[in-house]
Amino acid sequence: MKTIKKQFNVYSLEELKALDTEAYEVAIQNVREDYTETQIDFFYQDMEETMKGFADTFNISITDYSFGIYHNSYVNVNIDDYMDLDNGEKKDLVKKANNLQYEDCSFTGVTTDEYITDYFKENEVTYNDLHKHLEDVLHVAVRNFTNDLENELEDDTNILDYAIDGDFEFLEDGRIYY
């Protein structure tokens, strides 16, 4: 049997920055990748649940969608079930849509719901145009959601805070030490 011991020098981001700026840049990129792999996937799941909650509330169906950071995003909806509602039910949904501007997290209880409520803060709907908004709101919400994620990922302060909060340590070449 052989016992092999290997010694590593590990650094905080600040220490690495003072030691080697190129390794520091590699470390920042590695933290961005970790953030993408561990955090953004949770945000995606939250947004999917928000979209489903909205669709259920407004009697529409999501037929297809795709979204992600640095990709074209889309949401296709079918509003036929909404259109088949009687006038009283449609009026109730108009009232619900216009009241969303006063609510937070009303579909799933998580912050991604705000991408939809924000839409209705900017767009008051009527009985005659709610169907048009139902076709647009998820597209706008997903676009704003992915833009925010991209901005978070590009924000060095956010990435530095994530690294500090996670007590990340780095090898001298910038790789994360686990």
Q: Determine whether 149 is exposed, middle or buried from the number of CB atoms within 10 Å of its CB (0-12, 13-18, 19+).
A: buried
Give me the residue spans of the domains in the chain: 44-167
Q: Is the dihedral of CA 16, 19, 21, 23 positive or negative?
A: negative
Strand partners of residue 75: 65
Beta partners for residue 177, in sequence order: 169
pTM for the predicted model, two decimal places: 0.87
Q: With contact defined as beta carbons under 8 Å apart, do 49 and 105 qualify? A: no
Compute how many other C-beta atoms are within 10 angstroms of the C-beta atom of residue 151: 11
Tens digit of pLDDT at every position of the chain (178 positions): 999 899 999 999 999 999 999 999 999 999 999 999 999 989 999 999 999 999 999 999 999 999 999 999 999 999 999 999 999 999 999 999 999 989 888 899 999 999 999 999 999 999 999 999 999 999 999 999 999 999 999 999 999 999 999 999 999 999 999 8
The answer to whether the CB of 159 falls within 8 A of the CB of 35 is yes
Distance CA 86, CA 97 (A): 17
